[in-house]
Structure 1
Amino acid sequence: MGHSRFRRSIVHVNATLARVVGDEEGMSTAEYAIGTIAAAAFGAILYTVVTGDNIVSALTGIIGKALNTSVG
């Protein structure tokens, strides 16, 4: 999944959550269910991105550079 497609997905999930959560007056059970599913989907996407090999490798590299930097 490309970065722009991922960003569009996040924007769509955030917009859906804002619509569902923004106006609590008169929300039906179906709207709560949609909001819950959207939040779970966002969490799954975020978990997949954070635990992906590229992110883990990048963070390991950054931490390694920080630990090996000499101040002098």
Structure 2
Amino acid sequence: MMRDLNTTSRRTARSTESAVHALGDDEGAATAEYVVATMAAVSLAGLLVMLLRGDAVKEILMDLVRTALSFAG
């Protein structure tokens, strides 16, 4: 009985150790995070470019600049 318990305990320890080793490998995780962040930034930039090309936005920005220049001079 004791021998079976020791064998089972060793097998459990080995399988736990190999599972921890397999899950603990974070190599490349930082690179993947940079890729996700870069893609989000590029998507946001593309959206802003599309918005700023619209006539309504151009008119709002021109009004803002005119107002700022009228206060300055």
State the TM-score, normalizing by the size of structure 2. 0.42
Tell me which structure has the larger Cα radius of gyration: 2
Relative contact order, CA 8 A, sep 6+: which one is greater?
A: 1
State the TM-score, normalizing by the size of structure 1. 0.42
Which one has the bigger helix percentage? 2
